[in-house]
Structure 1
Amino acid sequence: MNFKKYFLFLVMAALMVVMAACGGGSDEPTAAANETPDTAEETTETETETETEDVTASLEGSVVIDGSGTVFPLMSVLAEEYMVNEQENVSVEVSRAGTSAGFGRFLVENGTDFNNASRAIKEEEQAEADAVGFEVKEMKVALDGLTFVINKENDWATELTAEELIRIFKHDGGVTKWSDLRPEFPDEEIHAMGPNENHGTYEFFYEKILEKEDLVDGVNLQQEYSTLVNLVSEDKNGIAFFGFGYYVNNQDKLQAVHVDFGDGAVEPSLETIDEAGDYAPFTRPVFTYLNVDMAKAKPQVLDFALYVANNADVFAGQTGFAPLPEAELQQYIDYLEGLK
């Protein structure tokens, strides 16, 4: 009898456990049922935003840039920062064939995505883009100061007038020796140097400063700026011109000529390089040119263009350029956003 009661107790206990298991969740709404329409909508929006972020984060492919050696330091820093901090699966290749040589690679079918330039695109170059059939967008990235550099031991030509500098480099300037400039200067031959015709800096100097007058006989024109730095640093009578950034990075080897434009000598610096400032006559904008068709076809190209527009002023100073006004860069950002 005791055994039967014990057995009945076990059966009843088992039934209670089964009933509790079957009915325990039926009175509680599920998490999905508990969501209000607003919550569900927020969830959908969050998922959409996450998917968009994932698409941006998963950009891959290459961005190919060539052109100006002057702009190279700024663009190479932007490229490195972009690859390290923004898009690690995108390869940004920056070369420095020179402005004109770079346009040769840019203004062809399936050419480079960007061309950096230390002077504005020419009408005939724009016509080449039109003939190939793609749109070109000009973007200023910074301001540069044409800088004349001399040897560290040169203690007589540290301050020159703009006219004297032009006479040194102009064919009919009447100057071959330092003493031709001023009688108190050494009676030694001047060794004038500069970048060659591949560079926008040469073209800016020739067209804007020399007003298309021939350069002096025997001027030493080089493809590589590093070569010019070494030549002047080893030659007490050497003088060369190039962008301010190359001087800044080689101040241990060279000194910059302070230029008198009529109101006293002005040292090229980030404070004086300005299109309306004290160094304005030797100030110029520098550019990158975007193949808009490439930007529309390749998301990584458009994304990098936006990165440049948003960050050029951040890295300009550290690479030897004066930054552009924020409002000017914002115009490029608005344009690029419109391509999405």
Structure 2
Amino acid sequence: MESGILPEVDPAALSGTIYAAGSSTVYPLSEAVAEQFKADGFAGEIKIDSIGSGAGFERFCKSGESDIANASRGIKDSEVENCKAISRTPIEFRVGTDALSVVVSKENTFLTDLTLEQLAVIFSDKAEKWSDVDPSWPNEPILRFTPGTDSGTFDFFVEEVIQKPAKIEKLDEAKKIVLSAKNLQTSEDDNVLVKGIEGSPYAIGYFGFAYYQAEAANLKALSINGVSPTFETAESGEYKLARPLYIYSDAGVLKSKPQVAGFIHYYLTFVNDVIGDVGYFPASEEALTAAQQALADALK
């Protein structure tokens, strides 16, 4: 998607190190772009840490260690303030769309679709067994698997499934409802969640569509309110758990490190070539053009 907003970038002409950290959801996408960037000639080092959106913003806005923050949610006002304290102004670049997938084991015979209301009960202290949610379901404990509290995926899920429907004022209050549920395992590593859910027909969890797609032989993605996660339903907003994916950087970083500016330019140019293979859906052309414009403005 060469837009003409920015000149073409030649990875072979760039050197140095690039450090990105944050969302486990965005991680495989950034990894795929980085591999292509290196294949096209970049000889420097690219380090990408999968630590959750919140922890990624800590590294970008508090310690200033990272050049790029990967995020599966928008940056919070408090994080922007942290950035200001170290003379950084975060610039947002939209890179794709995820359909957060609610999944069970292929061995689960009683679930194919959930309402948002049922999902809210399942991930709360209101139900201990499946039969507490629906009497026709098994009299077995609900084994819950959820991303950790540093995860943008966790924040997004709690906000959309618990906080907004129940009109709870503070996100932290809604988080307590989820974290007080029994048989709950949290992990910042989505592969740990995958293995846990695959291990029992009574397990349920959620993570980015890419992690579901990679394990589709062993997992079943549930439809929500009768709508399955697909490109069309994510783009239209019909699928209620669709969300944007971002990377963030700062004009000072971009100007002082041409390799970071070049990598982000390359990312925005070629992300749609790899995003489908990774397991996510493209951002609109308008969103990518706006991101390229934001990069051009930052480099003026």
Matched, 1:287 2:246: yes
Match of 1:328 in 2: 287
Please report how far the alpha carbon of residue 55 of structure 1 lies from its aligned counterpart in structure 2 after TM superposition.
8.6
Please report how far the alpha carbon of residue 277 of structure 1 lies from its aligned counterpart in structure 2 after TM superposition.
3.3
Match of 1:27 in 2: none
**Of 103, 111, 117, which residue of structure 2 is paired with 1:157?**
111
* Partner secondary structure for residue 266 of structure 1: coil
**Deviation digits for residues 101-145 of structure 1 (CA, Å, limit 9, x no counterpart):** 111111146421001011111111000111111221011111111
Matched, 1:269 2:230: yes
Task: Name the amino acid aligned to 1:101.
Answer: A
Matched, 1:217 2:181: yes
Over 3 Å counting, the alpha-carbon distance change for 1:54 and 1:195 in structure 2 is closer
* Runs (5+) with no aligned partner, structure 1: 1-51
Q: Which has the larger radius of gyration?
A: 1
Matched, 1:337 2:296: yes
Please report how far the alpha carbon of residue 75 of structure 1 lies from its aligned counterpart in structure 2 after TM superposition.
0.6
Task: Name the amino acid aligned to 1:123.
Answer: D
Match of 2:4 in 1: none
Match of 1:104 in 2: 58
Match of 1:146 in 2: 100
Match of 1:176 in 2: 128
- How many Å separate the matches in 1 of 2:187 and 2:20? 22
How many residues matched? 280
Taking only aligned residues, the RMSD between alpha carbons, in angstroms, comes to 1.9
- How many Å separate the matches in 1 of 2:9 and 2:123? 56
- How many Å separate the matches in 2 of 1:289 and 1:318? 23
* Runs (5+) with no aligned partner, structure 2: 1-6, 164-170
TM-score normalised per structure 2: 0.88
Match of 1:89 in 2: 43
Q: Contact (CA 8 Å) 2:103, 2:219: kept in 1 or not?
A: yes
Match of 2:153 in 1: 201
Over 3 Å counting, the alpha-carbon distance change for 1:238 and 1:55 in structure 2 is closer
**Deviation digits for residues 306-325 of structure 1 (CA, Å, limit 9, x no counterpart):** 01111222222111111111
Q: Contact (CA 8 Å) 2:28, 2:278: kept in 1 or not?
A: yes
Over 3 Å counting, the alpha-carbon distance change for 1:228 and 1:53 in structure 2 is closer
**Of 166, 190, 204, which residue of structure 1 is paired with 2:120?**
166
**Deviation digits for residues 192-232 of structure 1 (CA, Å, limit 9, x no counterpart):** 11011121101111233211322142221112111111111
1:1-340 aligned within 5 A: 57-85=12-40, 87-108=41-62, 110-171=64-125, 174-211=126-163, 212=171, 213=174, 214-215=177-178, 216-218=180-182, 219-260=184-225, 265-274=226-235, 276-279=236-239, 281-338=240-297, 339=299
Match of 2:167 in 1: none
Q: Contact (CA 8 Å) 1:191, 1:238: kept in 2 or not?
A: yes
* Partner secondary structure for residue 88 of structure 2: coil
Please report how far the alpha carbon of residue 179 of structure 1 lies from its aligned counterpart in structure 2 after TM superposition.
1.4
- How many Å separate the matches in 2 of 1:56 and 1:217? 48
Which segment drifts farther, 229-238 or 327-336?
Answer: 327-336
* Partner secondary structure for residue 34 of structure 2: helix
Over 3 Å counting, the alpha-carbon distance change for 1:207 and 1:278 in structure 2 is closer
* Partner secondary structure for residue 150 of structure 1: strand
TM-score normalised per structure 1: 0.78
Which segment drifts farther, 115-124 or 217-226?
Answer: 217-226
Match of 1:37 in 2: none
- State percent identity of aligned pairs: 32
* Partner secondary structure for residue 95 of structure 1: strand
- How many Å separate the matches in 1 of 2:9 and 2:83? 35
- How many Å separate the matches in 1 of 2:8 and 2:222? 50
- How many Å separate the matches in 2 of 1:287 and 1:250? 24
